[in-house]
Amino acid sequence: MPMAETDHGLVHDMLTVLPPAFWVGFFVVLGTFVGSFINVVVYRLPRNCLSINNPRRSFCPSCKTQLSVRDNLPVIGWVLLRGRCRYCGVKYGARYPLVELLVGVLFGCAAWSVLYGDGVNTTSWTAWLVLLHVLLMISVLVPWALIDLDLQYIPDSLTFVPLLIFLPLSANAATYEWGVSVAWYDPLFLDFLPRWLNSMASALATGLGAMLFLMAAGKLGNLLFRRQAQKIGGDSMGWADVKIMLLLGVMLGWPKMVAGFFVAIALGSVVGIIARVLRGSLGVPFGPFLAAGALAAMLLAPRMEAALRWYFSVLEAIAR
């Protein structure tokens, strides 16, 4: 038997035998390490005086001492140090381990949804490609939301650079069935083109359409709520939010883009009303809600579709 065929059979057997708990646990742990790196990105990327990879190890923001490997272990390092710097004793705060846990949980949910959400798909290469797409989305959306929450500003490198990754990933989207797709999308038009090119064009059209829609909504908001818009700088919708719509459209495609946008509006409205009542705040960053809506549409698409069908069935029953 040729070596390649033997290796393929061994990999197939491993993917079949390993239980769901192994893969979900593996991606949870992987996600915590990615979350640790995201903390670095969130701190360094908006500060032009710092580089993502220099210094290579994390350092204490207070005393600038580079941390050892054991101190950099996700979650565990923070617990062992009791949330303090080993060298100067300053408190780090709980956000660092919470971000690591959040990304770990999201990675685990993504692995379960893609690999086991509709049956066992561990031996399908398309499922693993979809999982890669989802994990990359999480790795981009989480730092994007955190930076917007902190500074109400998003570096262009977090918006336009990922397009170079996700647009090629969309090339094969039209070939995948719903059974193993929680992040892919239906072709929009241009059926006369090859399927891969149609899929890329549809993804780009979705992003451009979403961006133009949010721009128009922002201009309309400026007219309808002129006083409130002037108090927060003159624009009811930030330019960063408009730019991210281009990326989200390419990531999600039109069915999930629409669902994610409405989830973002619902979440943003609820939080905005609460912030207005409790603190008198006139505006909250919309970016975190766009990220949350995109993740919901990506990971919960089948459940959202089922809920929507149930809702329409109720309306139909009432109409009768």
For residue 2, what pLDDT is reported? 45
Does 225 or 306 have the greater pLDDT score?
306
Q: Alpha helices, DSSP H only, in 160-194?
A: 163-169
Is 245 within 8 Å of 210 (Cβ atoms)? yes
* pLDDT score, position 302: 73
Give percent of the chain with pLDDT exceeding 90: 18
Half-sphere exposure of 72 (CA within 13 A, CB side): 17
Cα–Cα–Cα angle for 97, 285, 94, rounded to 5 degrees = 15
Q: What does the pLDDT average to over 229-242?
A: 60
Name the residue with higher pLDDT: 235 or 104. Answer: 104
Q: How confident is the model at residue 284 (pLDDT cuts 50, 70, 90)?
A: confident
Q: Look at the alpha carbons of 76, 77, 81, 84 in this order and tell me if their dihedral is positive or negative.
A: negative
Q: Residue 27: is it exposed, middle or buried by C-beta count within 10 angstroms (0-12/13-18/19+)?
A: buried
- Provide the pLDDT confidence category of residue 158 given band limits of 50, 70 and 90: confident
Cβ contacts of 110 within 8 Å, gap of 6 or more = 27, 131, 134, 135, 138, 182, 298, 299
pLDDT at position 19 over 80: yes
Query: What are the beta bridge partners of residue 59?
Result: 66
CA dihedral 264, 269, 270, 275 (to 10 degrees): 120
In contact, 141 and 291? CB cutoff 8 Å: yes
Amino acid, single-letter form, for residue 150 = D
Which of 23-37, 77-91, 92-106, 119-133 is the least confident region?
Answer: 119-133
Q: Is the model's pTM score more than 0.95? A: no
Q: Binning pLDDT at 50, 70 and 90, where does residue 221 land? A: low
Bridge partner residues of 84 (DSSP): 91
Q: Residue 121: is its pLDDT beyond 60?
A: yes
The mean-pLDDT minimum among 115-119, 158-162, 214-218, 220-224 falls in 220-224
* Backbone dihedral angles phi then psi of residue 90, each to the nearest 5 degrees: -70, 145
Residue 48, pLDDT > 80, answer no
Residues in the chain: 320
Distance from C-alpha of 57 to C-alpha of 106, rounded to nearest angstrom: 25
Delimit the domains of the chain by residue range.
Answer: 1-123, 157-320
Q: Which residue has the higher pLDDT, 184 or 33?
A: 33
Confidence of residue 136 (pLDDT cuts 50, 70, 90): very high
Helix (H, G, I), strand (E, B) or coil at 50: coil
User: In the predicted model, is pLDDT for residue 181 greater than 80?
Assistant: no
Q: What percent of the chain has pLDDT over 70?
A: 80
What are the structure tokens assigned to 167, written together?
């647009």
Taking only the tens place, the pLDDT of each residue in 245-258 is 889 988 888 778 88
| Mean pLDDT of the region 120-146 | 87
CA 186 to chain centre: 20
Q: Per the structure block, which two tokens stand in for 254? A: 């039109």
Give the residue among 271, 122, 253 at the shortest CA–CA distance from 199. Answer: 253
Best CA proximity match to 71, nearest among 86, 61, 89, 91: 86
pLDDT level of residue 105 (50, 70, 90 thresholds): very high
pLDDT at res. 310: 80
> Which distant-in-sequence residues (6+ apart) come within 8 Å of 294 by Cβ?
137, 141, 248, 251, 252, 256, 260, 264
Examine the pLDDT at 183 and tell me if it is beyond 90: no
pLDDT at residue 176, as a whole number: 47
Give the pLDDT band of residue 177 (cuts 50, 70, 90): very low
Tokens of 161: 């650079």
d(CA 240, CA 155): 8
Once rounded to an integer, what is the mean pLDDT over residues 182-188?
A: 48
Residue whose C-alpha is closest to residue 31's, from 133, 103, 139, 138: 103
